Amino acid sequence: MKHDRTFDPRYGERVEILPGLCRLTANNPGPFTFHGTNTYILGQKNLVVVDPGPADPAHVDTILSVIEGARVEAILITHTHVDHSPAARLLQERTGAPIIGCAPHRAARALMEGEVNPLDASGDKDYTPDQETVDGETFEVAGITFHAIATPGHTANHLCFALEGEDILISGDHVMAWSTSIVAAPDGSMRDYMASIDKMLARFETTYLPGHGGIVRDAPAYVEQLKQHRLNRERSILSELGDKSRSIPEIVAKLYADVDPKLHGAAGLSVFAHLEDLTERGRTAADPGLALDASFRLLD
Ligand SMILES: [Zn+2]
């Protein structure tokens, strides 16, 4: 599928998307963050800051300098990855604003015996919101009405926020224009992700503001492509298992032959997320049990 990787982060600058809505990209580029984390600032006089970013005092200084003394009424958080939520505490120290949003960090499922969580370092376990928002909840801050939409998959606690009266949805890391989302066990879940993709497909908004990279336009068509992409990947995995049992590295070597071997570890986590979903649905079996180093086979 095609991703839109054209994006100018304009570090240190407040980039206006609409009147009363701007983006400030943190200077934390990387293979998983693209050019950096997008912090969104909404409101006219009183403001809401969405995903203030990593624990980087320089980015918090930049947020405070671009808002030019306006009052921060709330800090809103989509999910607890270390590139999104830790600065909430720094910004709270500087502004006193309450932290509103997703639940504390948790995995999508319990760790299995002997399993080491490969994603442990990416979770912000110190995040404790002052006010947790739940699926379907509507709340108003700084004169803006937000609808919280639970979208587990990338993380178990992921939320998107739709803006009432606007054709705009803040999509966090659930839907991004530059790349697919990372969906990896045990923090994430492919089954949850696919259900959260269907949840997006039932919505009308056409413009999404993602946690990394540029704006998603024509969102329903794009989300449908994301869905088809995962379904294709699932079909490829099933066909790799057609004649015999295979390990995840064997499947990755075949399906990701044209991908930089440095990314094969991440690809393995994604294949595992599919196989976990397929095994739960009774399509595949894992020997001796569901694990990254298991051997997988088809069930009929
Ligand atoms: Zn994330």
CATH number of 15-219: 3.60.15.10
Give me the helix-helix angle, 190-201 and 264-280, nearest 10°.
80
Q: Would the pLDDT of 57 be above 90?
A: yes
Structure tokens at 32: 């998983």
Q: 191 CA distance to ligand 1 centroid (A)?
A: 17
Q: 85 CA distance to ligand 1 centroid (A)?
A: 10
The angle at the Cα of 182, spanning 181 to 188, to the nearest 5 degrees, equals 115
Q: How far apart are CA 74 and CA 161, in angstroms?
A: 14
Taking Cα atoms as reference points, which of 151, 264, 257 lies closest to residue 208?
A: 151
Whole-number pLDDT of residue 243: 83
Would you say 100 and 142 are in contact if contact means Cβ atoms under 8 Å apart?
no
Q: How would residue 1 be classed by pLDDT, with cut points 50, 70 and 90?
A: confident
Q: How far is CA 165 from CA 96, 134, 204, 220, 296, in A?
A: 28, 20, 12, 18, 48
Helix (H, G, I), strand (E, B) or coil at 296: strand
Mean pLDDT across 193-219 = 98
Structure tokens at 237: 């995995």
Q: How would residue 38 be classed by pLDDT, with cut points 50, 70 and 90?
A: very high
Taking Cα atoms as reference points, which of 185, 68, 22 lies closest to residue 116?
A: 185
Residue 218 burial by CB count (10 A; 0-12/13-18/19+): exposed, middle or buried?
exposed
Whole-number pLDDT of residue 69: 94
Mean pLDDT across 10-39 = 96
Q: Which residue has the tokens 């909404």?
A: 42
Write the pLDDT tens digit of every residue in 222-244: 999 999 999 999 999 999 998 89
How many Å separate Cα 11 from the centre of its chain? 21
Q: Would the pLDDT of 218 be above 90?
A: yes
Write the pLDDT tens digit of every residue in 120-145: 899 999 999 999 999 999 999 999 99
If you write DSSP's letter for every residue of 150-175 in order, what string do you get?
Answer: E-TTSSTT-EEEEETTSSEEEEETTS
Q: How far apart are CA 236 and CA 228, in angstroms?
A: 12
Would you say 150 and 158 are in contact if contact means Cβ atoms under 8 Å apart?
yes
Count of other CB atoms within 10 angstroms of residue 169: 25
Would you say 173 and 195 are in contact if contact means Cβ atoms under 8 Å apart?
no
Q: 182 CA distance to ligand 1 centroid (A)?
A: 8
Structure tokens at 88: 């909430």
Q: 173 CA distance to ligand 1 centroid (A)?
A: 5
Q: 244 CA distance to ligand 1 centroid (A)?
A: 35
Mean pLDDT across 165-191 = 97
Whole-number pLDDT of residue 115: 87
Between 261 and 173, whose confidence is greater? 173
Q: How would residue 153 be classed by pLDDT, with cut points 50, 70 and 90?
A: very high
How many Å separate Cα 275 from the centre of its chain? 20
Whole-number pLDDT of residue 220: 98
Q: Would the pLDDT of 112 be above 90?
A: no
Q: 154 CA distance to ligand 1 centroid (A)?
A: 7
Q: How far apart are CA 75 and CA 63, in angstroms?
A: 12
Whole-number pLDDT of residue 236: 97
Q: 174 CA distance to ligand 1 centroid (A)?
A: 8
User: Which residues sit with Cβ closer than 5 angstroms to ligand 1, an ion?
Assistant: 81, 173
Q: Would the pLDDT of 114 be above 90?
A: no
Whole-number pLDDT of residue 10: 97
Mean pLDDT across 271-294 = 96
Q: 6 CA distance to ligand 1 centroid (A)?
A: 20
Would you say 238 and 278 are in contact if contact means Cβ atoms under 8 Å apart?
yes
Q: 258 CA distance to ligand 1 centroid (A)?
A: 25
Q: Would the pLDDT of 285 be above 90?
A: yes
- Domain borders along the chain are 15-219, 241-298
Q: 23 CA distance to ligand 1 centroid (A)?
A: 17
If you write DSSP's letter for every residue of 217-267 in order, what string do you get?
Answer: PSHHHHHHHHHHHHHHHHHHHHHHTSSS-EEHHHHHHHHTTTS-GGGHHHH
Q: How far apart are CA 92 and CA 180, in angstroms?
A: 31
Instruction: For residue 24, give the amino acid letter.
Output: L
